[in-house]
Structure 1
Amino acid sequence: MHVLILGGTTEARRLAELLHGTPGLKLTSSLAGRVASPRLPPGETRVGGFGGAEGLAAWLREHTVDAVVDATHPFAETISFNAAQAAADTHVPLLALRRPGWVPVEGDRWHEAGSLEEAARSLPALGRRVFLTTGRMGLAAFAHLDDLWFLVRSVDAPEPPHPARMEVLLDRGPFTLDGERELLRRHRIDIVVTKDSGGAATAPKLTAAREAGVLVVVVRRPPVPEGVPVVPDPEHAVRWVGERLEQRPFRAID
């Protein structure tokens, strides 16, 4: 049985670790290639796009894929919808692995936005010193805000277009609560902008903002494509793969 993991997340790597070495299972992890030095999971890997839904469907057929787990970032909307279309076209079972989103607690000051563009439009009325933690790919939405100052954190250096008044912090999570507290204090941050990525690796910034009374603009995540089953963690995904492995007739694999 050949399983394709659409990865690039902590959950995808964990799933590959749990499935690696399973008898009768061939595992391939696909990474988008947007990070220069990604953390590679065990098993076979491929890097780069497929060429849309048609290209992914062709790859599934060519490599005789029996199941796909979409464990991409919750905001990787394009690949998720391409995967849903390709799976439907090839009749390959598809599962979405999505870490649960964040939930506000007492003391949080959250302002929700439906997109990066909506978040950018709201900023001038909310503050002047912005901690932008949405990644380097979406900076164009904020490039026109010349009156605001931005602290931008990303794994790799961002490319234009981006805000003119910007300091870049190259770092990779998980982040500590003490570190996030110090960032907010040292840079006099009055707004944090984040995507609702969920998970524990980047959640300390929310706690630090709550303690400091800093407003957090939270960009809502896009929905999972209709009809695709969703599980919240790698362990549930392992069970889903195991059920399909038990149902498959034996055949030789490479």
Structure 2
Amino acid sequence: MRILLLGGTSEARALAAQLHPDIDVISSLAGRVPDPALPVGQVRIGGFGGADGLRDWLRGAGVDAVVDATHPFAATITSTAATVCRDLGVPHLVLVRPAWPPGDAIVVQSDQQAADAVAEHEFSRVFLTTGRTGTAIFKDSGAWFLIRAVTAPDPQDLPRRHQILLSRGPYRYDAELGLLREHHIDALVTKNSGGAMTRPKLDAAAALGVAVVMVDRPPLPPDVDTVATVEDAASWLSGRSR
């Protein structure tokens, strides 16, 4: 059995490790992060060239199934994969980690709405954790930003007042608590990524009474099979390899 595993997440790496070497797994990474954490097995890096490119690649590679374990906000590839697999009749599964309960967070639907919320509530010191592409919308903000990302944002996309912190999770609660205190943060801006790796920032914010602005997830394509755990994804594949 040969599968295409759309990855880049800890769940994708865990699934590749669990399946290897019994199932022929080709993990695909978008290539946006230099020096990414690589899964075991065969890896391809870079886009497919849209729906037509993915369709041609699947036909040429002889793939039996596609598992989408990309980030919950990777809406474009998730939608493209769903459409192409449906057209080709290729079994397709989305492995999506459970979302965080929003609690008392200010829930918004986009980066623009997050920027609007920061301005409306007059937050002055913001911990921004929406990724390197999420900074541009805050360029004209009057707030100060602690920007955490795996790779540095483009300089032209940075707010006037900021500090960049380059790091990769998982993060610990005590360290997150210290970070918020050290920088006198009054608002955390985050995407609802879910998972345990970056959850401690929410727990630390709650402990300190720091406001949270949370960008809600884009909806999944209609009528796709979904599971929430690596184990369930492995079982789904096992049922198709018999």
Q: Please point out which of 60, 73, 76 is paired with 1:75.
A: 73
CA deviation after TM superposition for structure 1 residue 161, in Å: 1.5
Q: Is the 8 A contact 2:176 2:200 kept in 1?
A: yes
1:89 and 1:166 map into 2 onto residues whose CA distance is 46
What residue in structure 2 maps to residue 142 of structure 1?
138
What residue in structure 2 maps to residue 252 of structure 1?
none
Q: Is the 8 A contact 2:102 2:214 kept in 1?
A: no
Which residues of 2 match residues 182-197 of structure 1 at below 5 A? 182-197=178-193
CA deviation after TM superposition for structure 1 residue 104, in Å: 4.0
Q: Please point out which of 117, 121, 128 is paired with 1:132.
A: 128
SS at match of 1:144: coil
Counterpart residue type for residue 111 of structure 1: I
CA deviation after TM superposition for structure 1 residue 144, in Å: 2.1
Superposed CA RMSD in Å reads 0.9
What residue in structure 2 maps to residue 123 of structure 1?
118
1:54 and 1:89 map into 2 onto residues whose CA distance is 11
Which residues of 2 match residues 175-254 of structure 1 at below 5 A? 175-246=171-242
Counterpart residue type for residue 7 of structure 2: G
CA deviation after TM superposition for structure 1 residue 50, in Å: 0.3
CA deviation after TM superposition for structure 1 residue 243, in Å: 0.6
Q: Deviations over 1:186-229 (max 9, x none)?
A: 11100000000000000000110001001000110011111111
1:153 and 1:46 map into 2 onto residues whose CA distance is 27
1:151 and 1:173 map into 2 onto residues whose CA distance is 16
TM-score with structure 2 setting the length:
0.97
CA deviation after TM superposition for structure 1 residue 41, in Å: 0.4
Deviates more, 1:186-195 or 1:109-118: 109-118
Counterpart residue type for residue 225 of structure 1: P
1:138 and 1:104 map into 2 onto residues whose CA distance is 20
CA deviation after TM superposition for structure 1 residue 125, in Å: 2.2
What residue in structure 1 maps to residue 51 of structure 2?
53
What residue in structure 1 maps to residue 15 of structure 2?
15
Q: Are residues 1:158 and 2:156 paired?
A: no
SS at match of 1:78: helix
1:172 and 1:225 map into 2 onto residues whose CA distance is 29
SS at match of 2:198: coil
Q: Deviations over 1:39-84 (max 9, x none)?
A: 1101100000001111111100010111000000000001101111
Identity of aligned residues (%): 52
Flag structure 1 segments of 5+ consecutive residues without an equivalent.
247-254
1:178 and 1:111 map into 2 onto residues whose CA distance is 24
SS at match of 1:235: helix
Q: Which runs of 4+ in 1 moved over 2 A?
A: none
1:168 and 1:93 map into 2 onto residues whose CA distance is 42
Q: Please point out which of 104, 109, 112 is paired with 1:114.
A: 109
Counterpart residue type for residue 147 of structure 2: V
Counterpart residue type for residue 17 of structure 2: E
Counterpart residue type for residue 163 of structure 2: E
What residue in structure 1 maps to residue 84 of structure 2?
86
What residue in structure 2 maps to residue 66 of structure 1?
64
User: What is the aligned length?
Assistant: 240
